[in-house]
């Protein structure tokens, strides 16, 4: 059994140093609650209320920068494994990245493959595919926010054996006249629950909450079981929250291949070839918000 935490962070994001210290305090809370794996939000060292490279570039960090070092230190101190989003600088190139850190240090980084709207003018899209980390706590895949809209990415993680999908995210109210339903779920919660059920994996989503400059973020951080049911959350729309759930990661493999079905063997890839063919861009005809 693996205890997973999703860490919801609220404003302010006044400086990266303040946000970093805030994240470390919340990671310690997760560790005190017995978590072995903790997920922080997308770009959690900066405000998401940006529109140009000049808003992000001064705060971007290399993978040996102060934020990763701080997360490495808390991982060594507590035994946690951490998935955390930050603006990564690699030479002159910026990426919307999520690092995977363990007690022994940095284990790797995932660079967001599907960039949303104004992000395209700031970050380069990741081209490294969708890795799965084989950690002592389980087999972990990572996607970031808008990536979750692309079922192909989730299915590739399933094919490579991911038991838990960690999603640092920034869900906002842009383009959503009714951001939450009557029970306090946002649409992305249902999307994540569907991926959990359809791919028989645990899905752990960590969001921001409340106002972030001119942006309203939705909260609703949650952990979904392979049944599609919420194992923790969704969290409220405002305020910091540390949600934990005990996750039997072995359930993922067991549920994928049963006497009734096999999510890998029952696929018919010859019928899906069109998915891999490029299509002309349809931008400009209206886009949904992340």
Catalytic residues: 42, 112, 145
* Count of beta carbons in the 10 Å neighbourhood of residue 267: 13
Handedness of CA 282, 283, 288, 290 (dihedral sign): positive
* Count of beta carbons in the 10 Å neighbourhood of residue 19: 24
Exposure of 19 in the CB half-sphere (CA atoms within 13 A): 28
H, E, C per residue of 123-173: CCCCCCCCCEEEECCEEEEECCHHHHHCHHHHHHHHHCCCCEEEEECCCEC
C-alpha span between 144 and 18 (Å, rounded): 22
H or E element in which residue 85 lies: strand 81-90
* Count of beta carbons in the 10 Å neighbourhood of residue 286: 7
Burial class (CB in 10 A: 0-12, 13-18, 19+), 263: middle
């Amino acid at each position: 059994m693996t205890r997973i935490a999703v860490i919801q962070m609220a404003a302010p994001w006044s400086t990266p140093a303040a946000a970093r210290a805030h994240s470390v305090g919340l990671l310690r809370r997760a560790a005190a609650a017995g978590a072995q794996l903790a997920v922080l939000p997308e770009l959690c060292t900066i405000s998401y209320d940006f529109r140009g490279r000049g808003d992000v570039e001064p705060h971007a960090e290399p993978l040996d920068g102060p934020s990763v070092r701080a997360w490495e230190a808390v991982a060594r101190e507590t035994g946690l494994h951490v998935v955390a989003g930050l603006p990564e600088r690699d030479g002159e190139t910026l990426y919307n990245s999520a690092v995977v850190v363990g007690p022994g240090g940095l284990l790797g980084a995932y660079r967001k493959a599907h960039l949303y709207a104004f992000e395209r003018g700031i970050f380069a899209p990741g081209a490294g595919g969708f890795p799965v980390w084989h950690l002592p706590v389980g087999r972990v895949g990572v996607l970031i926010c808008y990536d979750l809209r692309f079922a192909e990415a989730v299915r590739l993680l399933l094919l490579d054996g991911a038991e838990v999908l960690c999603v640092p995210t920034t869900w906002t109210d842009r383009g959503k006249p009714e951001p939450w339903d009557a029970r306090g779920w946002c649409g992305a919660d249902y999307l994540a629950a569907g991926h959990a059920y359809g791919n028989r994996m645990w899905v752990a989503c960590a969001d921001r909450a409340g106002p972030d400059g001119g942006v309203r973020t939705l909260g609703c951080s949650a952990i979904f079981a392979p049944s599609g049911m919420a194992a923790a959350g969704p969290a409220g729309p405002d305020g910091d929250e540390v949600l934990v759930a005990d996750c039997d990661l072995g359930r993922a493999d067991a549920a994928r291949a049963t006497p009734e079905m096999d999510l890998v063997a029952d696929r018919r890839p010859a019928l899906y070839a069109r998915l891999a063919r490029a299509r002309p861009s349809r931008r400009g005809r209206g886009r949904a918000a992340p």
